[in-house]
Copies of this chain bind each other. A is one copy, B any other.
């Protein structure tokens, strides 16, 4: 796992994955008390950064693996990323999805040609289900975060952040990243280490689901006590990964956490000031930048807005007066 894998993933993604803009607005700056740059991965193909990791993983398969197909387990964003890449590469695709995933994510995944198998998030083990089906059909499992190619693909986000920060004259800043298992956070951290060493990645998690922050603070992997009870479905995972955690421990700053209501307020602020659509878990980093400015150093902060796949009812809850 190194910067060369990220650069190679960026080369394979060229023209297939979108280069997303870094947005800002006087209105957000006024809330945070400093310049807030938002890396708008909600504008990525499939509506989240997961299209990067999906493309990196599927494009790295050999011909036989591609012909047999791939399988992924995901609450929806990784599913869409893998499904899009699989379709583009002519590979069959099975998605293992929790039965409480947002309807829009299931519908969009199906529209991308994938076969969906639902499971119960509270009583069933998605790892076991995924391993069994992939063995039966000879599918290659594309893990959601603890996979070198997936981390490399997500890390292409960090290459773009480094490039944009250089163009904007930002030498030092915290880069806040909505964090589940740590694939994006670790990938960005590796890219920044090589390309923008003054920028520091920091994971942001839902309060009560701060396994990564606690693991970073203690130096060893801690698990979340539960896996349901937050609206931030995209970033609720059992624990940091075996691959992602050592990278984050070496390179990341301390973790932050935000409440569900802060995520909803960040969604509303992004609606009003940036005219982008964020899902709750995709707004966590922006929520930290806006509502916990005292935990961040520097004149500017960069928040990665990781996704925008949200049902209308949840979005209305966020923007309602």
* A residues at B contact (CB < 8 Å): 18, 20-21, 23, 25-27, 30, 40, 42-43, 45, 47, 84, 104, 108, 111-112, 268, 271-272, 274-278, 308-309, 312-313, 315-316, 319-321
Contact = CB atoms under 8 A, between A and B. Distances in A.
Closest 8 CB pairs of A and B: A275-B308, A275-B277, A312-B319, A42-B275, A316-B316, A47-B275, A271-B277, A21-B21
A309 B316 CA distance: 16
Contacts of A313: 321
A43 B27 contact: no
A315 B21 contact: no
Nearest to A42: B275
Given A20-B21, A40-B43, A275-B308, 13 more contacts: A18-B21, A18-B23, A21-B21, A27-B108, A27-B111, A30-B111, A42-B275, A43-B43, A271-B277, A275-B309, A276-B276, A312-B321, A315-B319
A271 B308 CA distance: 9
A272 B108 CA distance: 9
Contacts of A25: 45
A46 B8 CA distance: 37
A213 to B, nearest CB: 27
11 contacts: A18-B23, A26-B111, A27-B108, A27-B111, A43-B276, A47-B275, A268-B312, A275-B278, A276-B277, A315-B319, A316-B316
B316 A320 contact: yes
Number of copies of chain A assembled together: 2
Main secondary structure of the interface of A (DSSP, over half): helix
Nearest to A112: B26
Given A43-B23, A275-B42, A312 B320 contact: yes
A71 B45 CA distance: 41
A306 to B, nearest CB: 11
Contact of A21 (B42, B43, B112): B43
Q: Which of A40, A45, A315 lies at the interface centre, i.e. has the most chain B CB atoms within 10 A of its CB?
A: A315
A81 to B, nearest CB: 13
Nearest to A320: B312
Contacts of A23: 18, 43
Given A27-B111, A312-B321, A104 B275 contact: no
Contacts of A111: 26-27, 30
Contacts of A47: 275
A14 to B, nearest CB: 12
A53 to B, nearest CB: 18
Nearest to A319: B312
| Residue among A20, A274, A275, A312 facing the most chain B CB atoms (10 A cut-off) | A275
Contacts of A319: 312, 315-316
Contacts of A21: 18, 20-21, 43
B274 A315 contact: no
